[in-house]
Amino acid sequence: MAAYRGRLARFRSRPNAGETIVQKLLIMGVEKEVAPDVSCGQALKSVLGEKRFENVLAARSGSNLLDLSSSLPPDSTELTPVEAGSPAGLAILRHSAAHVLAAAVRRLFPGVKISIGPAIENGFYYDFDYARPFTPDDFPAIEAEMSKIAAEDIPFTRRTADRAEVEALFRSQGENYKLELLDSIAEQTLSLYTVGDFTDLCRGPHIPSACALRAFKLLSVAGAYWRGDEKNPMLSRIYGTAFAEEAELKAYLRRQEEARKRDHRKLGKDLELFEFHEDLAPGMVFWQPKGMLMRTILEDFLKRENLKRGYSLVQGPQILRKEAWVKSGHYDNYRENMYFTEIEGDVHAVKPMNCVGHILLYESSLHSYRDLPVRMAEFGVVHRHEKSGVLHGLLRVRQFTQDDAHIFCAPEQLEDEILGVLALVRDLFGLFGFEYTMSVSTRPDRSIGSDEAWKLATDALFQALERAGVPITVNEGDGAFYGPKIDVRLTDSLGRQWQCSTVQCDFNLPERFELVYVGKDGERHRPVMVHRAILGSLERFIGILVEHTAGRFPAWLAPVQAKILNVTEAQETFVLETAASLTKAGLRVEADLRNEKLGYKMRQAQLEKVPYILVAGDKEVEAAGVNVRPGGGDSLGLKTLDEFMAMVAADCEKPFKQGGMNYSFS
């Protein structure tokens, strides 16, 4: 470790030539006078000291990230370190790991073509074109070569070159993908980074030396079309991850292993919830009876909750003529995600969202200010054209159901309506035990409407979040094409974040469709529209919930709440009668009368993750009760059927009472 630290310090401290003019800098709160021929690394080291500097990978000047070997920018007034474990440090480390991966693959597989390799959330990847697809069997050799490059203490060096020189370099190497990337870059002077014999187009920054890469792992390989276009060649995408410390890598790999065990596609099949037939219906879900029952329970609960909160349930058609989507702006701004069909010479679109149908329902009658707000909810099936490469079980599909709603309100009602939606988000995610964060996504480049309308909508979202006491973060340019939105990201039991809820504020579609209401003054006014989905896609939410709970659903939602097992044939009649009584009382019960040992049947019920396992032997028959084991755990002893039903009702109601929803299952 000491040898590693010493080698890395050499690269961090390498000076660059420059004019000897004193430059004043603020470094970690310390004022420092340095000469421009001092590198960023030397300037930081002079303040941080040897020990703390060991953990620094790059420097930050204003909004710019810089290599430690870079000269100080002439206009710099402040310099801060980018440490290995920070978000920016990890991104640099992982981006550098992608370059080392490419260097290793080039060493091992002559003739390989190299395309792109960015850092991504929790890791990195690089895409390769080779005579055969890469497989995980190749990983040990590639990882060994990456470790060898790190052990060789190979520096990352940066230089600039003009376009002609870069083109000649990649042409001499036969790197056709790099040449195609070069065609899409306007600059004439380009930045190149070299590690070993691998040189790449890159803006940087990078770690000073490959020796900083000491905690990494290759994870998987997948096919990926060049530039995401199925008309282009299929490349091998090798995924990996890297961390500042080995302990962090091991913890991440443990979480990944747990995630694999919880994979909703595997559990969905094991628990007989849903299945997929990608050869016949890619991106579509086939719901098994148990899965459909659970989905129906969830949907029915959400419908009742909507009704309690003042929504009316509506339903629009699956397809509308193209003209409706032209008027809404979807045709110009969203059509690449839509499916089209022709009926008697007219072009129709399968709806990708429900808002246009709800607009048409609103405008079918004239509304007074006394009618507002009008809240319409629909569990609408929508279709979106997703590329095959991004489809992923329930989490990314082409057909899904949204718990969608649209609120038409007067401008002065807008903030209160947004707050009402945020309260519903709070209640529903609290019910399932999810923590969450919220952010505001602002106007994208591709959008409709005036600056004034966008400002009014964005201000309303900010003000509502402020009133709700929610910390505000901003995703610049990530709004819908018709309005800004609040995005809600929930965190599951493995610490992963998922985008689910969205609350969108829209002044533009009411304008396009000329929606009105009659105000107190007798004049016609324009309403504001709030688009909202709480769970988002039911399919996606159920996939997240399966992995969050590892398939062990709360009792109120479990498709089978209890399984009754007999000990011998002598209890068969009692078990069937008990199952019938509990079913009649509203419980979801199955009986297992198979001629198997009780231990085997109990293990099967545990694998099925049934909330309650009920055992009936001679003693239970005599007492007209059942032996109760919650989740297959320790026995709670003999209970009468009334006692057991009261227990299940209390178990079902508990999460609702904790969230103040007071929902009754008795």
Q: Is 355 a catalytic residue?
A: yes
CB-count exposure of residue 115 (10 Å: 0-12, 13-18, 19+): buried
Q: Is 171 a catalytic residue?
A: no
Taking CA atoms, 25 is separated from 55, 62, 67, 79, 536, in Å, by 21, 12, 17, 7, 49
Instruction: Give the active site residue among 106, 485, 532, 540.
Output: 485
Taking CA atoms, 265 is separated from 127, 152, 281, in Å, by 26, 42, 16
Q: Is 402 a catalytic residue?
A: yes
Q: Is 505 a catalytic residue?
A: no
Instruction: Give the active site residue among 129, 200, 404, 506.
Output: 404
Q: Do strands 374-383 and 312-313 pair parallel, antiparallel, or not at all (unpaired)?
A: parallel
What type of residue sits at position 624?
Answer: A
Q: Is 512 a catalytic residue?
A: no
Its sign, for the CA torsion 23, 25, 31, 34, is negative
Q: What is the b/e burial string over 316-328, where b = at least 16 CB atoms within 10 angstroms of the residue's CB?
A: beeebebebbeeb
346-350: strand order across its sheet = 319-321, 346-350, 339-343
Concatenated DSSP letters of 317-355: -SEEEHHHHHHHTHHHHHGGG-EEEEETTEEEEE-SSSH
Going by C-beta distance under 8 Å and a sequence separation of 6 or more, which residues neighbour residue 160?
189, 190, 191, 192
Instruction: Give the active site residue among 12, 262, 398, 531.
Output: 531
Helix (H) or strand (E) holding 235: strand 234-242
Instruction: Give the active site residue among 23, 42, 402, 561.
Output: 402
Is the peptide bond between 444 and the residue preceding it cis, with omega within 30 degrees of 0? no
Instruction: Give the active site residue among 384, 540, 563, 629.
Output: 384
Taking CA atoms, 628 is separated from 573, 625, 665, in Å, by 19, 9, 19
What residue ranges in 538-601 does DSSP mark as E strands?
562-566, 589-592
Instruction: Give the active site residue among 355, 409, 500, 652.
Output: 355
367-368: strand order across its sheet = 367-368, 517-518, 524-525
* Helical spans, DSSP H, in 109-243: 139-151, 163-173, 176-183
**Under a CB-based contact definition with an 8 Å cutoff, are residues 224 and 127 in contact?**
yes
Dihedral of the alpha carbons of 352, 357, 360, 362, in degrees to the nearest 10: -120
Closest CA to 207 of 243, 249, 250: 243
Going by C-beta distance under 8 Å and a sequence separation of 6 or more, which residues neighbour residue 36?
18, 19, 20, 21, 23, 71, 72, 74
CA angle 331, 334, 335 (to 5 degrees): 55
Instruction: Give the active site residue among 206, 406, 532, 639.
Output: 406
Q: Is 404 a catalytic residue?
A: yes
Q: Is 485 a catalytic residue?
A: yes
Helix (H) or strand (E) holding 427: helix 414-432
Q: For residues 600 and 614, give the distance between their C-alpha atoms in angstroms, rounded to a whole number.
A: 14
Q: Do strands 189-195 and 198-201 pair parallel, antiparallel, or not at all (unpaired)?
A: antiparallel
Closest CA to 644 of 602, 616, 619: 616
Beta partners for residue 475, in sequence order? 441
The number of beta carbons lying within 10 Å of the beta carbon of residue 596 is 13
Closest CA to 433 of 532, 540, 534, 549: 549
User: What amino acid positions are annotated as catalytic residues?
Assistant: 355, 384, 402, 404, 406, 485, 531
